[in-house]
Amino acid sequence: MTEKEDKKVEPIGEKDESKLVDWSNPPTLSELKADYTAAQSDHSAHVSKVNRWLDNLNATGAAKIVSTGKNRSTIVPQVIRKQAEWRYASLSEPFLSTDDIFNVSPVTSEDRAAAIQNQLVLNNQFNTKMNKVAFIDDYVRTAVDEGTIIVRTGWDYQEKVTMEEVPVFDYVENPQFAPVLDEIEAAMQDPVMAESIPDEYKEALRLSIEAGVPLEPVDTGETEEVERVEVIRNQPTAVVCNYANVIIDPTCGGDLSKAGFVIYQFDTSLGELRKNSVYKNLDSIKADNAESIFGDSDSQIGDEPSFKFNDEPRKKIVAHEYWGFWDIDGKGELKPFVATWVGETLIRLEENPFPDGGLPFVTVPYLPKRKSIYGEPDGALLEDNQKIVGAVTRGMIDVMARSANGQMGVRKDALDVTNKRKFVSGENYEFNGNVDPRQGMYMHTYPEIPASAQYMLASQNQEAESITGVVPFQTVNTGKLGDTAAGVRGALDAASKRELGILRRLAAGIIEIGHKFIAMNAVFLEEEEIIRITNEEFIPVRRDDLAGKFDLRLTISTAEEDNSKAEELAFMLQTGAASADPGEVRMIRAEIARLRKMPDLAKRIEEYQPQPDPLAQQKAQLEIALLQAQIANEQSKAMENQSQANLNNSRAGTEPAKAQHLQSVADKNALDFVEQESGVKQERDLQKMGEQSRAQGNTKLLDHQLRMREKAFNK
User: Once rounded to an integer, what is the mean pLDDT over residues 249-273?
Assistant: 92
Residue 445 domain-assigned (yes or no): no
Task: Report the pLDDT value the prediction gives residue 594, as an integer from 0 to 100.
Answer: 76
Task: Report the pLDDT value the prediction gives residue 472, as an integer from 0 to 100.
Answer: 62
Which one of 44-48, 394-398, 704-708 scores highest in mean pLDDT?
44-48
Report whether pLDDT(661) > 60. yes
Number of domains forming the structure of the chain? 4
How many angstroms separate the CA atoms of 477 and 31, rounded?
Answer: 61
User: Once rounded to an integer, what is the mean pLDDT over residues 683-710?
Assistant: 81
- When pLDDT is cut at 50, 70 and 90, the band that residue 348 belongs to is very high
Task: Report the pLDDT value the prediction gives residue 532, as an integer from 0 to 100.
Answer: 60
User: Among the listed ranges 70-84, 346-360, 449-463, 557-571, which one has the minimum average pLDDT value?
Assistant: 557-571
**More reliable by pLDDT, 107 or 569:** 569
CB of 12 closer than 8 Å to CB of 23 = yes
Q: List the beta bridge partners of residue 538.
A: 532
Residue 206 domain-assigned (yes or no): yes
Do 207 and 269 share a domain, yes or no?
Answer: no
What digits encode the pLDDT tens for the residues 156-179?
Answer: 888 888 888 888 888 888 888 888
Do 216 and 330 share a domain, yes or no?
Answer: no
Task: Report the pLDDT value the prediction gives residue 265, as an integer from 0 to 100.
Answer: 94
Give Cα 247 to chain centroid, integer Å: 31
Do 226 and 245 share a domain, yes or no?
Answer: no
DSSP 39: T
Task: Report the pLDDT value the prediction gives residue 196, as an integer from 0 to 100.
Answer: 74
User: Among the listed ranges 11-15, 292-296, 464-468, 476-480, which one has the minimum average pLDDT value?
Assistant: 11-15
Report whether pLDDT(84) > 80. yes
- When pLDDT is cut at 50, 70 and 90, the band that residue 715 belongs to is low
Task: Report the pLDDT value the prediction gives residue 3, as an integer from 0 to 100.
Answer: 42
User: Once rounded to an integer, what is the mean pLDDT over residues 285-289?
Assistant: 63
Residue 311 domain-assigned (yes or no): yes
Do 275 and 359 share a domain, yes or no?
Answer: yes
Do 246 and 357 share a domain, yes or no?
Answer: yes
Residue 66 domain-assigned (yes or no): yes
Do 371 and 261 share a domain, yes or no?
Answer: yes
User: Once rounded to an integer, what is the mean pLDDT over residues 548-568?
Assistant: 69
Of the three residues 376, 405, 440, the one that is the final residue of a domain is 376
β-strands 215-240, 246-248: how paired? unpaired
Mean pLDDT of the chain: 81
**Domain extent for 710:** 684-715
- When pLDDT is cut at 50, 70 and 90, the band that residue 399 belongs to is confident
Helix orientation angle between 79-96 and 379-401, rounded to the nearest 10 degrees: 140
User: Once rounded to an integer, what is the mean pLDDT over residues 118-142?
Assistant: 89
Do 635 and 712 share a domain, yes or no?
Answer: no
- When pLDDT is cut at 50, 70 and 90, the band that residue 58 belongs to is very high
What digits encode the pLDDT tens for the residues 107-120?
Answer: 776 777 777 778 88
User: Once rounded to an integer, what is the mean pLDDT over residues 286-305?
Assistant: 52
Of the three residues 207, 232, 257, the one that is the final residue of a domain is 232
What digits encode the pLDDT tens for the residues 504-554?
Answer: 899 899 989 988 998 888 888 877 776 665 545 566 666 666 666 666 666
**More reliable by pLDDT, 34 or 127:** 34
Residue 97 domain-assigned (yes or no): no
Report whether pLDDT(653) > 70. no
Task: Report the pLDDT value the prediction gives residue 188, as an integer from 0 to 100.
Answer: 79
Task: Report the pLDDT value the prediction gives residue 150, as an integer from 0 to 100.
Answer: 96
User: Among the listed ranges 112-126, 514-528, 673-687, 696-710, which one has the minimum average pLDDT value?
Assistant: 673-687
Do 57 and 23 share a domain, yes or no?
Answer: yes
- When pLDDT is cut at 50, 70 and 90, the band that residue 103 belongs to is confident
Task: Report the pLDDT value the prediction gives residue 12, as an integer from 0 to 100.
Answer: 34
Residue 572 domain-assigned (yes or no): no
Do 212 and 253 share a domain, yes or no?
Answer: no
Proportion of the chain above pLDDT 90, given as a percent: 22
How many angstroms separate the CA atoms of 412 and 410, rounded?
Answer: 6
CB of 159 closer than 8 Å to CB of 228 = no
Q: List the beta bridge partners of residue 261.
A: 324
CB of 350 closer than 8 Å to CB of 21 = yes
What digits encode the pLDDT tens for the residues 185-232?
Answer: 888 777 667 777 888 888 888 888 888 888 888 888 888 888 887 888
How many angstroms separate the CA atoms of 523 and 530, rounded?
Answer: 16
How many angstroms separate the CA atoms of 10 and 639, rounded?
Answer: 89
Do 254 and 337 share a domain, yes or no?
Answer: yes
**More reliable by pLDDT, 339 or 303:** 339
Of the three residues 348, 376, 404, the one that is the final residue of a domain is 376
Do 196 and 266 share a domain, yes or no?
Answer: no
Alpha-carbon dihedral sign for residues 580, 584, 590, 595: negative
Residue 712 domain-assigned (yes or no): yes
Report whether pLDDT(297) > 60. no
Residue 568 domain-assigned (yes or no): no
Which residue type does 152 have? Answer: R
Do 358 and 244 share a domain, yes or no?
Answer: yes
How many angstroms separate the CA atoms of 246 and 206, rounded?
Answer: 52
User: Once rounded to an integer, what is the mean pLDDT over residues 81-104?
Assistant: 85
Report whether pLDDT(488) > 50. no
Q: List the beta bridge partners of residue 542.
A: 528
Task: Report the pLDDT value the prediction gives residue 294, as an integer from 0 to 100.
Answer: 43
Task: Render 468-530 in DSSP notation, one character per residue.
Answer: H----GGGTTSGGG-SSHHHHHHHHHHHHHHHHHHHHHHHHHHHHHHHHHHHHHHHHS-SEEE
